[in-house]
A = this chain, B = another copy of it.
């Protein structure tokens, strides 16, 4: 568990939460150590990274169902027999990926709710935090979004519950601001859904942001500034995000 950084930047977020590198894959290994035949962590961690990375490359371009384990074997450089020392079955591989991501999101969300922030700062933290997560775990998010319907019903429900919980964070912050008379909002739940949908665009429509040459900070400021305008927050027009508005 980590602390939310005081400074809001991708670099500070990257330092506060371990979502890449050897330390990250070590945590992934620990999370389903029991479902794996290989006991030696040093060898398991390296191969897990190979398998997951290859899965993302193949599934996120042609689709998980269209990816065969022969594809995965040649892309990861691990033989078909070797794969089964790590994954149990093809469907379990997808299930594990969803489980790991959901676990991480839960952890970050759980830490956020303990923070005592005023409504504006809270909304900023949620928006920037989720976008930083999506940036660092981009292929994980995209995979889980696109392949969710391939999982069993229980897991689909857990993913939907998580999304509702995330919406709930936004709703609570909006309602707090409405109570303060800082915000005006007729339907906080619908507005929260809109924000969540816009955040998810960052991984769903990566091609478009690349084409438009929009970077993460610009997109975060765009969502946040527009949200304050919708909430009719005073001072919103001046760029209340505290970060330069995109040109």
Residues of A within 8 A of B (CB): 60-63, 65-66, 146-147, 149-150, 160, 163-164, 184, 186-187, 189-191, 193-194, 197-198, 200-201, 204-205, 207-209, 211-212, 214, 218-219, 222-223, 226, 229-230, 232, 237, 245-247
Main secondary structure of the interface of A (DSSP, over half): helix
List, in ascending order, chain B residues with CB within 8 A of A187's CB.
222, 245-247
List, in ascending order, chain B residues with CB within 8 A of A222's CB.
187, 190-191, 194
Complex Cα gap A149–B204 (Å)? 12
Interchain nearest-CB distance for A98 vs B (Å)? 15
Q: Using A146-B146, A187-B246 as known contacts, say yes or no to A194 and B226 having CB atoms under 8 A apart.
A: yes
Interchain nearest-CB distance for A210 vs B (Å)? 11
List, in ascending order, chain B residues with CB within 8 A of A163's CB.
208
Contact residue among B60, B190, B219, B223 (Cβ-Cβ distance under 8 Å from A212): B190
Give this chain's copy count.
2
List, in ascending order, chain B residues with CB within 8 A of A219's CB.
190
Complex Cα gap A223–B198 (Å)? 12
List, in ascending order, chain B residues with CB within 8 A of A237's CB.
184, 232
Complex Cα gap A62–B247 (Å)? 43
Contact residue among B150, B164, B190, B204 (Cβ-Cβ distance under 8 Å from A66): B150
Q: Using A190-B212, A247-B187 as known contacts, say yes or no to A63 and B150 having CB atoms under 8 A apart.
A: yes
Complex Cα gap A63–B145 (Å)? 13
Interchain nearest-CB distance for A148 vs B (Å)? 10
List, in ascending order, chain B residues with CB within 8 A of A186's CB.
245-247
Interchain nearest-CB distance for A145 vs B (Å)? 9
